[in-house]
Structures are given as C-alpha cells and as structure tokens.
Copies of this chain bind each other. A is one copy, B any other.
C-alpha cells in the first residue's frame, strides 16, 4: 500500500475505492496471467465489479466455465490415467478439441448476436446481409435481453463479487431500473429488416449513423458477419 498507512480496511470514500478497485483488478489479472504463463498453469479470473456492467473475465468466458467445471470434477480426474498412443490422441484429443471448439462457436455466435443487436439499437434498424443473420436466433437474443431487463427491474439487489472472485449482494442502481430510455423503448422502437446484397461501401442512415458493411471477403477467417475491425459510430 504505497503512500498509505498500509491499513487493510474497507475504503469508505467512493472515488478512492473505485480507483483502487480498478487498478488492483488490472494488477490481479496481470498476476494471474503471469502465474499462468510462468508456471504453466491454466488459470482464470472472474471479477464482478459493481461499477462495471459486466464481469471482467480472463482469459475468456468459455475458459472460465471450463476451468470451474474442471475444478468441480477434480477428485475423479486425479484418479484418471491418460494413456496416449497415436490412435487415442487422434481420436480422444481430437474429439475433446472439437467439443471445445463447439463451445467456442456457441459463445462466439451469442456474442456476435448480442453485439449485432446492440448495434441495431444504435442504428435504429436491423440490417440483414445475404442470409448472414439468423433472424430467429437474433429474436431469441432480443427476447432474452428483454427478460433480463425485466428481471433486473424487479430486483432490489444486484450481485457483485470476484472469483478468484465472487458475487456479492448489493442494492440495485435505481436510476438504471427507472430510466425511461432505450431500455424501455427496445420493444417499441421501430426496427426494420433490410435485405441488402451490397454493403461494399459505407453509408449512413437518416439518423446519421454509419451502417457498417457486414462480411469481409478480405478476411477469410472472419465469421462472415462483421468485419474484423469494424468502425462503429
């Protein structure tokens, strides 16, 4: 605790605590990363910060879930013996990796959808490229989000925490729940589905927001949905 009395007590001052929390969070994740790299250890961190809207996660959401699951299954894993020969490697490890990839794809898809939805909120309409958008899934994500909002509104408490961090109960931010803004308007705002085959050049809609072309032929490994480095308004 540089420049301080070195007391290890709760910081009452909001600004100070927030600043300290932010700095220390970053440091902690860095430390976890270092330990992971230096000692060849898989590690993850989940930090629920009341100041942040979403938990800080390292190294990735899927990795966090995988490691926690691993931890829960630890006792039996220790008893296992891994007998690897060529066949088992190509079958077993391959299958394992394939499963992991599936999880990764699922998460990626959900993430794409979430971001797409949020962009729609900003642009004000749903832009659909050549069959690139799974509309049903998008609607599902939107519905889930709406449910989530309702759920939040109905709560009087919200969770925080850190794991290496864990959730902690604290009062819900009233402003968020009561604001009559975009949240409430999601279900009412005018959304349209545009079909377009040509997004080769940037354009703006009537609200002055840039419509980002989806898909990127130059990046063969993009998900064919968003450009790798999109420019957002």
Listed in ascending order, the chain A residues whose CB lies under 8 Å from chain B are 1, 8-11, 17, 20-21, 24-25, 27-28, 31-49, 53-55, 57, 59-62, 64, 66-68, 70-72, 74-86, 88-90, 92-98, 100-105, 107-112, 114-115, 118-119, 121-122, 131-134, 137, 144-145, 148-149, 152, 155, 159-173, 175-176, 179, 181-183, 220-225, 228, 230, 232
Contacts and interface: CB of A to CB of B under 8 A. Distances in A.
Given A20-B38, A40-B159, A53-B82, 16 more contacts: A11-B38, A35-B162, A46-B164, A54-B82, A54-B96, A55-B74, A55-B81, A57-B100, A61-B104, A67-B166, A84-B172, A90-B182, A101-B112, A105-B222, A131-B220, A133-B220
Contacts of A28: 28, 31-32, 35, 164
Contacts of A92: 53
Contacts of A111: 97, 100-101, 104
A163 B68 contact: yes
A89 B172 CA distance: 7
A54 to B, nearest CB: 5
A36 B84 CA distance: 34
Contacts of A220: 131-134
Nearest to A69: B72
